[in-house]
Each structure stands twice: as structure tokens, then as C-alpha cells.
Chains A and B, each alone.
Chain A
């Protein structure tokens, strides 16, 4: 708050004192929120690392298996088996609350299809195609898991950044400015008091004379 905008009055001083108290309590709460969010984030980070590794591992396995299936059965056989599938994974998005932050909870069903319901003939295709299909089902499952955890992480990180910025603004800008304004009013009031005392003395002296 620039000093020229501050009126050096007692009511303004009381108002600023009240604002400083409120700002400090807000600052404390925001600081606690930031620390809480960081703790939550650390919990998620471990899960995210594990899931990311799982996705990469499953992806490598799946690509290896499909390459074998392509080589043994031919690209056309793999393609026709892929296009014969009838079921598809369905996901439901729900939400949960972490310190006022809404994060998604993804629930998936029918990712795994039994071999006899895959839509292609069991006799007409080789075991390599089945293995590739199973490997990709594993991959889809881990991708859905990663989606939930990574979204939570992205949201948490955004919220941490936002809260951090607010805490810093209060700590380094708002509170110091209010304190400065308070000090300015105090000084100005003291100065006015001194001037008044001096004026009264002068009036008294003149009255005596």
C-alpha cells in the first residue's frame, strides 16, 4: 500500500491492525495447505514412479509379442484378429477430494476378455496372437492406472504452484506493506501529538503574556 494512500488517522490504524491480523492468519492457513499438498504429492510421486515403470515395461513386452505374432502369423492375420474384437474397455470417471482439490478416480471394466469371447476363431489363430492380445490388455490396464495417478499429480502440482505463489505474495508483499503502513500511521500520529503539545504550550505562553 503506497504511503500517500494511507490516511494517518486512528480509525485507519485500527483498520490496518485488523487487516494485518486477518492476513497473518490467512498466511498461516495457506502455508499449512501448501505443506499438506506437498505431503500428498510425495505419496503420489512414489506410486507414479512405479506405474510409469510398469507402463514402460508392459509396452516393451507388448511390442515384442506383437512383433513375434507378426512374424509367425503374418501382419494380415494379426490385423484381422485385432479388428474382430467386440468388447471395448469402458471407463468411469469419479472424483475425490484432496484438501479442497478435486481429483479424478478412474474405474475401468471389461479390459480383459476371455479367449473364447475375443471374436476370432481359436483354431484359426496361433498362440502368439493370444499372447500379444494379453500383453496389450496388461498395457491398457497400466495406462488407465497411470492416467489416474498422473492426472492427480498434474493437478496437485498446479495447486502447489498456485498456493506457493499466494503464500509468497502474502509473506513478501502484502504483510510487509501493511506493516509499513501501520508504522507510517503510528509515526504520523505521534508527530501530530507532538505538534499539538507544542501548539498548546505556545497558546498557553501567549495567554500568560
Chain B
């Protein structure tokens, strides 16, 4: 299985330099379609995305992307994922609070 990366030009070039061959440049209008195609691809094991791009998705698709397990979607960047919210819901306490 492969590692794939979706993000802007600069983000993607870095990962190509790091050895990832399956890189996809995100265009604002086609971002939603591209990410949905990628999470439906069975040859991808891990998909890394820029956390700033996640707001481009509709709430339903955002949930679908964040909950995807094959491939696993890993958000990279300063923004926190939905994992914190999920922990809060399942355990009842915000365990990420320091």
C-alpha cells in the first residue's frame, strides 16, 4: 500500500522530496471530489492532508474523511482534528485539556 499526500503545491513538493510519489495538488474547486476519490482508492494506506484545507469540505464529507480508516487520513498542521471532539463525546471529559 502507498502513502499519498494531498495539499497545495509547496506542501506536496516537500513530501515528494521526502520520497512520497503519490502526491496530488489540491485545487479549491475540485478539492472535495479529489479527496473523496482518494479515500475510495484501495491502494492507498495512509493519506496525509493539510489541516488548513479541511474547511473546504462540507460537514458530511468532513465527517466521512475524518472517520475513514482505510485509508487513514492524517491531518498535518497547526489545526486540531476532530479526534478531540470524539474523545469528549465518548469519554465525557476533554482529555486534551492541559
Contact of A78 with B17 in the complex, beta carbons under 8 Å: yes
Whether, in the assembled complex, A36 has its beta carbon less than 8 Å from a beta carbon of chain B, the answer is no
Residues on the A chain within 8 Å of B76, using CB: 55-56, 59, 139, 143
Q: Give the shortest distance, in Å, between B56 (CB) and chain A (any CB).
A: 19
Report yes or no: A90 in contact with B86, Cβ–Cβ below 8 A: no
Are the CB atoms of B90 and A164 closer together than 8 Å? yes
Q: Check if B69 sits within 8 Å of A143, measured CB to CB.
A: no
| Other-chain residue from A83, A139, A147, A154 in contact with B18 (beta carbon distance below 8 A) | A139
In the bound complex, residues from chain A placing their C-beta under 8 Å from that of B10 are 63, 66, 70
The distance from the CB of A135 to the nearest CB of chain B, in whole angstroms, is: 8
Closest to B76 in A: A59
Cross-chain pair count, CB within 8 angstroms:
126
A140 & B15 in contact (Cβ 8 Å cutoff): yes
Q: Of the candidates A59, A104, A108, A113, which one forms a contact with B77 in the assembled complex, judged by CB atoms under 8 Å apart?
A: A59
Beyond the given A82-B14, A140-B15, A151-B72, please list 7 additional residue pairs across the A-B interface where CB-CB is below 8 A. Answer: A45-B95, A55-B74, A85-B19, A89-B3, A93-B70, A104-B69, A161-B89
The 12 listed contacts between A and B (C-beta, < 8 Å) are A62-B14, A82-B17, A85-B16, A91-B1, A104-B69, A108-B3, A111-B19, A139-B76, A140-B3, A140-B18, A147-B46, A150-B81
Residues of B within 8 A of A (CB): 1-3, 10, 13-22, 45-46, 48, 67, 69-70, 72, 74, 76-78, 81, 83, 86-87, 89-91, 95-96
